[in-house]
Amino acid sequence: MYEIFEELLEKHNVTAYRVAKETGITTATFTSWKQGKYTPKQDKLQKIADYFGVTLDYLMGNKDGSALICEDKAPYYTLSDKDNRDIAKELERMMEELDSGTSLAFMGEPMDEEDRELLRISLENTLRMSKEMAKKKFTPKKYRK
C-alpha cells in the first residue's frame, strides 16, 4: 500500500510532509507506515485518497476495474466561477484606476499597449495566486476535500 502512496507523491510532485500538513495526518504516521509497523486507519486513508483524488480501493492496492482514479476531482483551492468573476472585476477596477489621471509610465517613458497588456497579465496572475493561497491558508480542514 505504501508503494501506491509513493507513486502518488511522485505523480503529483508533492512530499509526504506536505500531504501530512494539508491533511492533518502526522508525519510519524507516514514513517511508521513506510516501515511496515503500522497501517493507517480507514479515516486517515480516506483523507489521503481524497487529497490525491483517488478512490480508497485504489490507494489500498485493489487493482480490479472498480478502483479507478477520479481524474475529475479538483483540489479544494481551485478557483470557482465566482472567484474568476471577482478577479475579473478587481482587475478591471485596477486597470481603470491606473488609466485615470496621468498616463502610466516606466522610467519616464509612457507605457505602450504591449507593456499595458503585460502589466494586466501580471496583475491577473497575482490576483489568482493570492486567491488560491488564501483558500489554502484559510479553508478549515473539515472542508478540504
What φ, ψ does residue 109 adopt, rounded to 5°?
A: -100, 135
- DSSP conformational letter for 64: S
The domain made up of 2-59 has a fold known as: 434 Repressor (Amino-terminal Domain) (1.10.260)
Q: Which residue has the cell 497575482?
A: 126
User: Tens of pLDDT along 40-59?
Assistant: 888 888 888 888 888 888 88
- Ranges of each domain in the chain: 2-59, 81-143
Decide if pLDDT at 90 tops 90: yes
pLDDT at 100: 67
Decide if pLDDT at 110 tops 60: yes
> For residues 38 and 32, is the Cβ–Cβ distance under 8 A?
yes
pLDDT at 1: 74
